[in-house]
């Protein structure tokens, strides 16, 4: 007595899962004898033939399966594989495009299109498709195992093409770039990098108050701060006070990141409650830390002369920021672009770097860096020694005095409303 088709299908699937491929193939043939148009049997037999290297016969079975289920993505992608083995580039492309017509965001289909373009068209076209595939792919730690090698290849092609394209643009535009004033060159070198796909546009992203239409400037010109030269001239004295504090009151350095249990820590997990990034606070969220200021009188006087930002519940802030050896502060954004953050480097061993948006620099002892911390920024200490900078905040110099009053009024109103 013949077995019903449903039982044959179940037995064929079980045999294939157990590695009994010959038995599975026989069972699928029996299904087709009973139901010659059984789509799953046609597809499965096509796969068996493909695995045996019978590419033409495999394609016939797969085509028959496709005709019975035109929107089956797995069938279409397997047909593309059969065509590739048959060296039928047009057939392969047709199957890939048919799959992407069904689902334009089908990741295996986008990757297959990228591979096809790399083999039969241009690297530039392949890189564009691979870039699109990477945009819709999940985070790397969640990549499907069966796509990992393809995604790594896609990323390598995109990176290589971007580097070549950036170099080409740089060569083509070199004379024009070199003729620009020095203050304008970084903007256009970043534009070249973005156009080549090597970097993305960095925009201000304030955690609290965002002032629209302020330029997103990574590093501000030193000339905007009339107090800069005077402060830099006190570097040695401020550093001496820092060294005394490190020797006698090291317990005053507290972990800078301190999320409570139950709060999402996101990128701060490694540094949460860790002394690898610690701070000796002089001003904190608008309040003086009197004991610490009294221990550093020269520093306190120097800070009083810079005109720190005064924003309800947020500023001024001032601290000695200590970053332990081989520690990274991950990319993050600040609270408001109404203020900017200033670094006065005090202890900077070799191997320390800082990035704000597209621009990366190295700290230089005694030379301020003033930047918009609502742009993504990060810091690294790859040395074997402690790195310490004094950090404080001042008003964004592009704000008018009346706008500063609005900032203070808005933040005060927000806090009163939240009570």
pLDDT at 142 over 60: yes
Q: Is the pLDDT of residue 1 over 80?
A: no
Cα–Cα distance for residue pair 398/392, rounded to 1 Å: 18
The CA distance from 344 to 393, in Å, is 11
Residue 266 has pLDDT above 80, yes or no: yes
pLDDT over 70, % of the chain: 99
- Does residue 259 have a pLDDT over 80? yes
- Whole-angstrom CA distances from 392 to 75, 254, 314 are 61, 17, 12
Alpha carbon distance 84, 112 (integer Å): 11
Look at residue 100 and tell me whether its pLDDT is greater than 80: yes
Confidence tier at 312 by pLDDT (50, 70, 90): confident
Do 224 and 370 meet the contact criterion of CB atoms below 8 Å apart? yes
222-418 and 5-159 share a CATH fold: no
Largest CA distance in the chain: 100
Domain positions in the chain: 5-159, 222-418
Whole-number pLDDT of residue 3: 67
What fold is seen in the domain 5-159?
Answer: 1.25.40
pLDDT, residue 419, reads: 82
Are 363 and 346 in contact by the 8 Å Cβ rule? The answer is: no
Tokens of 265: 């820590």
Q: State residue 396 phi and psi, 5-degree precision.
A: -60, 120
* 197, pLDDT greater than 50: yes
Q: Looking at residue 362, what is its pLDDT?
A: 93
pTM of the model: 0.83
Q: So what's the pLDDT on residue 374?
A: 98
C-alpha–C-alpha distance, residues 151 and 74, integer Å: 18
State the Cα–Cα distance between residues 169 and 1, nearest whole angstrom.
Answer: 74
Work out the number of other CB atoms within 10 angstroms of the CB of residue 48.
20
Calpha distance 44→409 (Å, rounded): 70
- For the domain made up of 222-418, give the CATH fold: Jelly Rolls (2.60.120)
Average pLDDT over residues 82-97: 98
Sign of CA dihedral 171, 176, 178, 184: negative
Mean per-residue pLDDT over the chain, rounded: 96
Phi and psi torsions of 410, nearest 5°: -65, -45
- The per-residue pLDDT for range 320-368, each reduced to its tens digit, is 999 999 999 999 999 999 999 999 999 999 999 999 999 999 999 999 9
CA distances from 296 to 238, 280, 329 (A): 8, 11, 26
**Strands (DSSP E) found in 236-295:** 254-255, 277-284, 287-288
């Amino acid at each position: 007595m013949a077995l019903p088709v449903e039982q044959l299908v179940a037995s064929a699937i079980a045999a294939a899962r157990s590695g009994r491929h010959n038995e599975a193939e026989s069972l699928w043939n029996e299904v087709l004898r009973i139901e010659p148009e059984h789509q799953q049997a046609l597809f499965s037999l096509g796969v068996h033939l493909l695995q045996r290297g019978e590419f033409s016969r495999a394609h016939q079975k797969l085509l028959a399966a496709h005709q019975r289920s035109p929107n089956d993505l797995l069938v279409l992608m397997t047909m593309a594989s059969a065509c590739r083995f048959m060296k039928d580039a047009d057939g392969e492309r047709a199957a890939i495009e048919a799959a992407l017509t069904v689902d334009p965001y089908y990741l295996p289909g986008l990757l297959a299109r990228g591979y096809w373009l790399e083999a039969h068209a241009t690297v530039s076209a392949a890189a564009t498709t691979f870039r699109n595939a990477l945009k819709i792919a999940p985070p790397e730690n969640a990549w499907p195992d069966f796509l990992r090698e393809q995604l790594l290849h896609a990323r390598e092609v995109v990176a290589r093409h971007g580097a070549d394209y950036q170099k080409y643009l740089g060569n083509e535009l070199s004379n024009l770039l070199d003729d620009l004033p020095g203050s304008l060159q970084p903007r256009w070198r970043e534009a070249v990098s973005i156009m080549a796909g090597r970097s993305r546009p960095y925009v201000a992203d304030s955690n609290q108050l965002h002032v629209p239409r302020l330029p997103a400037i990574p590093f501000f010109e030193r000339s905007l701060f009339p107090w800069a030269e005077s402060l830099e001239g006190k570097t040695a004295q401020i550093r001496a006070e820092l060294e005394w504090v490190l020797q006698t009151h090291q317990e005053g350095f507290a972990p800078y990141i301190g999320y409570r249990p139950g709060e999402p820590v996101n990128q701060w997990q490694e540094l949460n409650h860790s002394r690898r990034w610690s701070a000796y606070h002089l001003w904190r969220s608008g309040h003086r830390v009197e004991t610490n200021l009294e221990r550093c009188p020269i520093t306190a006087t120097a800070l009083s002369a810079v005109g720190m930002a005064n924003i309800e519940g947020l500023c001024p802030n001032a601290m000695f920021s200590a970053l332990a050896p081989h520690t990274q502060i991950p990319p993050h954004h600040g609270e408001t672009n109404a203020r900017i953050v200033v670094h006065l480097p005090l202890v900077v061993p070799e191997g320390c770097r800082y990035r704000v948006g597209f621009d990366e620099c190295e700290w230089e002892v005694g030379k301020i860096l003033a930047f918009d911390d609502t742009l993504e920024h990060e810091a690294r200490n790859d040395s074997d020694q402690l790195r310490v900078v004094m950090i404080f905040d001042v008003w964004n110099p592009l704000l008018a005095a009346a706008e500063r009053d609005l900032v203070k009024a808005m933040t005060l109103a927000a806090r009163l409303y939240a009570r």
